[in-house]
Amino acid sequence: MSTTKGADLLVLAAHAPELVGMRTTLGDSLAGVLRGLRVVCATIGVGMPVAGAGTMRHLRDAKPRAVLLIGSCGVYPKQVEYLPLQLVVPERINLVDASVLGGKTAFPAPMQTVLAPDAALSHELACVEPHTLRGQLAATLAITTDDVLAARLGSKSGCQTENLEAFSAGLACAALDLPFAVVLAVTNVVGSHAREQWAKHQRKAAEQCARIVLDWIHRGARGLPTR
């Protein structure tokens, strides 16, 4: 998806199915003007290794005022109640690795492992929907599929939710001093049943995220910085 025409707001997602709700309003071009704002949507790729590069490519082309990442996430067992389609707007994104938490490997001291999305932008997006889950999002290299490990990751990291792309997308935005926020919808409990739960709820989750973003725009896009 081209972002060469520029944007006030760049809405990113890992892959096309997560933009289905935005396509309903913006059409197949996934770009248009809403309440005076030029909104452009684009995909960045699935997983941490490609998401940063994909984000930077679209930042270069679009030169946006702010960036939102939309998509889905899982909740860690016993950390929060599993409520499919619950909105998640994290206050912090933590780089999480099972072997690091187990004391078998270590992140080197200069390495950034914590990222804070833009506070004002995140707050205004979270206010659109009652009972939005805030807290901490775990950014992992791979989907956690083991129930015991999922419980351990949630407990030891202090995170409530898990997603693959948010950390690297956020780092790309931070490199250019661009406000960045994350809007996710819960599809599954992290663990052995995650894939089937994700398949059941993914489309509605994508529609939920789009609804929140569009409602926020139509309410005046509070928190969006001026040029």
Say what the pLDDT of residue 226 is: 81
Q: Which two tokens stand for residue 192?
A: 């052995």
- Position 3 pLDDT exceeds 80: no
The pLDDT of 117-127, averaged and rounded, is: 98
Say what the pLDDT of residue 1 is: 47
- The amino acid that residue 164 corresponds to is L
Q: Which helix or strand (DSSP H or E) is residue 171 part of?
A: helix 166-175
Round to whole Å and give the CA distance between 65 and 10: 8
Cβ burial, residue 177 (10 Å; 0-12/13-18/19+):
exposed
- Position 2 pLDDT exceeds 80: no
pLDDT band at 5; cut points 50, 70, 90 = low
Q: Are 80 and 133 in contact (CB under 8 A)?
A: yes
* Helix (H/G/I), strand (E/B), else coil: 208: helix
Q: Are 155 and 61 in contact (CB under 8 A)?
A: no
The pLDDT of 51-56, averaged and rounded, is: 97
Domain boundaries, the chain: 9-218
Say what the pLDDT of residue 87 is: 98
pLDDT band at 211; cut points 50, 70, 90 = very high
State in words which class domain 9-218 has: alpha beta
Cβ burial, residue 84 (10 Å; 0-12/13-18/19+):
middle
Q: Phi/psi of residue 70, each to 5°?
A: -115, 155
The pLDDT of 144-170, averaged and rounded, is: 97
The pLDDT of 188-217, averaged and rounded, is: 98
- The amino acid that residue 70 corresponds to is I
Q: Using alpha carbons only, how large is the chain's radius of gyration in Å?
A: 16
Round to whole Å and give the CA distance between 16 and 202: 12
Tens digit of each residue's pLDDT (9 = 90 or more) over 62-93: 999 999 999 999 999 999 999 999 999 999 99
Percent of the chain with pLDDT over 90: 96
Closest CA to 129 of 19, 39, 21, 219: 219
